[in-house]
Chain A
Amino acid sequence: MTLADPVELATPFFALMVMLEMFFARRSSSIRYETRDMTASLLMGFGNLIIGALLAGFIISTYQAIYTVRLFDLTHAWWMFLLAFFAEDFAYYWFHRISHERRWFWASHVVHHSSQHYNLSTALRQTWTGTLTFAFIFWLPLVWLGIPPEIVLFFSGISLVYQFWIHTEAIDRLGPLEWVLNTPSHHRVHHATNPRYLDANYAGVLIIWDRFFGSFVAECKEDPPEYGIIKRLGTFNPLRIAFHEWAEMVRDVRHAQNHREVFHYIFGAPGWSPDGSRKTAAQLKAEWRAEQISAQKTSST
């Protein structure tokens, strides 16, 4: 079975939509564009496209090797496409969640969060080092189950294309769709650094996984999202954007006192430090919650 690559097909559409949003931004104060930020995002996307094409063979051959020992033959099952869609979205949820919770994967994924803007060009700010982290292992169980590799890759592409349009401040809430789908509102929360919003809304297409696994947080009008990462980047240099967290990880590992520290610096939560001098997202969120509870107690007495 040969299927088209949805991301390749959508590339001209991406450029056109960014252009339209940029036009729209001139009339709306809620949408912000900045030349160097946008260009950096586009160059990250371009690099991702090239590196993706160069390393696709490695991923495909790994998928095919696993597929030879699949548990079931689902090729002719009519419901295989339905299963593939849900299974891919489920795998994406866990890939994405672990990409935020473990530094090894975060070092790659942080690129996507490194812009202080939230517009359609931010969607294209993609990692160059995803394959290096072996992130594709999250989709291997699908192939082992019997979903053909090309179908897995097709739905991964569909998910990426879907997630493009939700990177915008131009769209508010979408009524009942908010219950089921990942929407611009839900994804704004995901990109925010406000303590309330940290480590939330990892969904690809369906927000149901976040609701089910307790990582859902709704956007709150009183607390507008502040985008980016906790330690904001002071550069638009694509090389620094791509490798800064890897460089910091190497530096931490070089200063580690023992093997336990080495392990935590690589596979611990982003922000972990042996002396607590830095904070993880979970710690920041817990501090914020404690402050909220304390403030509520004070106001009620």
Chain B
Amino acid sequence: MVTLIIAIVGILILFLLSRAFGLDRNVIFVDEGAALDTLHHRHPDFTPDSSLLSTDRHSALFEDSSHGALGLVLALGDDAVTRIIQKGGIRRITALQDNNQVNGLKLYLDDVTCPEVKLYMSDYMRQAWLSRLQNYLGHDL
């Protein structure tokens, strides 16, 4: 019991300290090129013909329409995660809303290890990407 209490107190102190030290930062992609470099580091053969950098610069989406694949780059703390999404890789797409205002898209992926992605974008880009992303929706939804 004493060990459990020590563990709980230790976790709390370490969490607060790390926040105080500013270690809760998220990667910011300077531009689409930086996000693409991250994607290419893991998937060097991916050749996109269109790209989108989220307005918060924490995520980016690329499409290789000739091969029917999406490339996703997602900030995860001070690291990044990449995924190649094929047809059926997206379960659901919803509008992303802050203060009752639509400002992007939220993708629910068919991926246990990366279940959802927020992509902030302008209304114009949202319309353009929404129609493209429909092609990657899973058959079950």
Contact = CB atoms under 8 A, between A and B. Distances in A.
B70 to A, nearest CB: 14
B98 interface: no
B113 interface: yes
A235 B111 CA distance: 11
A102 interface: no
A37 B3 contact: no
Chain B contact residues, majority secondary structure: mixed
Contacts of A18: 10, 14
B78 A34 contact: yes
Interface residues of B, number: 31
A26 interface: yes
B35 interface: no
Which size class do A's interface residues fall under? 35 or more
A50 interface: yes
Contacts of A234: 74, 76, 81, 83, 111, 113-115, 117
Contacts of B23: 22, 25, 33-35, 38
Interface stretch (A210-218, A240-248, A284-292): A240-248
B134 to A, nearest CB: 22
B24 to A, nearest CB: 4
A39 B10 contact: no
A278 interface: no
B17 interface: yes
Contacts of B78: 32, 34
B58 to A, nearest CB: 12
A11 B7 contact: yes
B13 A37 contact: no
User: Taking each of A34, A50, A233, which has the highest tally of chain B beta carbons within 10 Å of its own beta carbon?
Assistant: A34
A11 B77 contact: no
A233 B25 CA distance: 18
Contacts of B4: 46, 49-50
Contact of A233 (B3, B24, B113): B113
Nearest to A5: B3
B79 interface: yes
Query: Among the interface residues B14, B15, B78, B82, which one has the most CB atoms of the partner chain A within 10 A?
Result: B14
Contacts of A240: 112-113, 115
B41 to A, nearest CB: 9
Given A11-B6, A32-B78, A50-B4, A233 B13 contact: no
A15 B112 CA distance: 30
B83 A37 contact: no
Q: In the complex, which of the residues B17, B18, B82, B111 has the most CB atoms of chain A within 10 Å of its own CB atom?
A: B18
A43 interface: yes
B123 to A, nearest CB: 26
A35 B3 contact: no
A19 to B, nearest CB: 6
Contacts of A205: none
B124 interface: no
Given A233-B81, A234-B83, A247-B112, A36 B24 contact: yes
8 contacts: A15-B14, A22-B18, A34-B23, A35-B23, A38-B18, A43-B11, A235-B76, A248-B113
